[in-house]
Chains A and B, each alone.
Chain A
Amino acid sequence: MDATTEAFLRSWQLRWDVILVLLTLTSIYVTGWVRLRRRGAKIANVWRLVSYLSGMGFVALALLSGIGTFEALLFFIHMIQHIMMMMYAAPLIMLAAPMPIGMWGLPRPVRLRLAKFLNQKSPLRQLIVAITKPGIIWMFYTLNLWMWHDSEMYERATTHSTIHNIQHLLFFGTALAIWWHTTDAAPKFHKHRTYGKRMMFAAATYFQNLLLGIYITMSPELIYTYYATVPRMWGIEAHRDQTIGGLIMWLPGGMMYGYTILILISRMMDYSEKQAQIKAKQDRLKRQQAKGIAVS
């Protein structure tokens, strides 16, 4: 292993703001999972716990490891960091049903109060439903993603810690909302989302991600000039680094939406098959009943 790679692997950052938030959210979720498991609730299964912990693990890795510290030196590492948070951590966390399970991790009075705030007719729930409609979320996610990839905004975020933290929070928050709709995770505040609608939603998100990835990859000029001012690692020049970053956004980033669409197609086919079987069974029963009536 070369010395730079070794330095990369050793460059962990002890960020207490990140560690405290991750530990608290994880302990709330695990407490809720254990409580529900003891009650025999089906929602608290092992794969959900694994999914949640893996999602949190991705966030920790993206922010605390060499990926989090070397984003300042390599554009493609920064893209890997964003993809880890938005394409891996966010769907894994949403698949783990964090809201219902997490609520069970709260003290009983807090849980009851929260449930009251979120009941079907509560203004808070109506507000959440209104501002998180798929179209609004898609628009906000897209605007947010493209805005931060503007060269000036990008440079501001890379050189100013508060702006950089806001950027990460917005990326992660909007990604959670996108995956909330795509995975149809609980809480199901919105109207029933069919497989077809979810597929279209994932495809629309994939498409804009693809465009941005292609734009960065194909750009003949250095968009993110900041990287020309820092020492280059592993001999990767700034423009080549930008091309690799764009490719990472284009391929592994887009792949997650591709997989999601494939999973949804397979689920939709299963569902159609089941519906057809049910209908055939009902038709058979009707025919039998009709025959019976005719005989009698």
Chain B
Amino acid sequence: MKRFLMVVAVFFAATFVPMARTDAHGLGNQQLEQVEAGPYLVSVWTDPKNVTTQNNLHITISVQDHEKDFVLDADVQVKAVLVADSNITQLHTASHDNAIQKMFYEAKLRLNQTGQWHITIGIDSELGQGEASFDLRVAEASDSWTRWLWPALGVTTVLVILVFGMYRKTRSTPQGS
């Protein structure tokens, strides 16, 4: 029975880890809402809400034409420039494959310098070229307790079951045996 409970505990602990990462819908903080960028209307979301140097930044981009039809065959580039030092730049391609909702484009970045970053979204398709941008603050990686909440809950569950099982075993073992 204890072995079974252990397996169940480990299993539930395992479900806590992805729960910590899974966003409600894969969108996040809205940075741009239907902004005109040349022949396109662009919406952008960033995830997580508080960007730090330690976590990955997901940028989800919606590209529509002025008729509000989705443009699905564009080449979408994400350029990030540190405002304090324009020599520090990153360039990434956003694609449908990375996105959860497949008519959006998504890029994954790791901005490893704190401070203000200027993010530019460049779009190119047979409709023409367009550009939209926004600023994003990247904070120092913090040891926020919430980051560890779900994994900690998982580990605690396993430990409690283990200790309880060992305690029961000690009590049920006859003295002197």
Interface residues of A (CB under 8 A from B): 3-4, 6-8, 10-11, 13, 15-17, 20-21, 24, 69-73, 106-107, 109-110, 113, 157-165, 229-233, 235
Contacts and interface: CB of A to CB of B under 8 A. Distances in A.
A3 B1 contact: no
Contacts of A162: 19
B4 A107 contact: yes
B15 A4 contact: no
Given A10-B102, A231-B70, A20 B15 contact: yes
Contacts of A106: 4
Contact of A159 (B22, B24, B26, B41): B24
Given A20-B11, A158-B24, A161-B22, 6 more contacts: A4-B69, A6-B102, A11-B100, A13-B100, A157-B24, A231-B41
B40 to A, nearest CB: 11
A10 B104 CA distance: 12
Contacts, number: 86
B101 A7 contact: yes
B25 A69 contact: yes
A72 B26 contact: yes
Nearest to A73: B101
Contacts of A161: 19, 22-24
A3 B100 contact: no
Nearest to B62: A231
A202 B101 CA distance: 37
Given A72-B101, A231-B34, A231-B68, A17 B4 contact: no
Nearest to B16: A17
A241 B114 CA distance: 41
A163 B68 CA distance: 31
A72 B24 contact: yes
A70 B14 CA distance: 26
Given A3-B103, A231-B62, A231-B70, A69 B15 contact: no
25 contacts: A3-B72, A4-B69, A4-B70, A7-B96, A7-B101, A8-B102, A13-B100, A15-B18, A15-B22, A17-B19, A20-B14, A21-B15, A69-B101, A71-B25, A107-B4, A110-B1, A110-B5, A161-B23, A161-B24, A164-B24, A229-B33, A230-B27, A231-B41, A231-B62, A231-B64
Contact of A11 (B27, B64, B102): B102
The size class of the interface chain B forms with chain A is 20 to 34
By CB atoms of chain B within 10 A, which of A21, A109, A161, A162 has the most? A161
Given A17-B22, A164-B24, A232-B68, A69 B103 contact: no
Contacts of B26: 13, 69, 72
Given A3-B70, A7-B102, A20-B15, A231 B43 contact: yes
B125 interface: no
Contacts of B101: 7, 11, 69-70, 72-73
A229 B32 CA distance: 10
Contacts of A109: 1, 4
A70 B41 CA distance: 19
A16 B15 contact: yes
Contacts of B70: 3-4, 7, 231, 233
A165 B19 contact: yes
B30 interface: yes
Contacts of B64: 231
Nearest to B149: A162
Contacts of A110: 1, 4-5
A158 B27 CA distance: 10
A160 B24 contact: yes
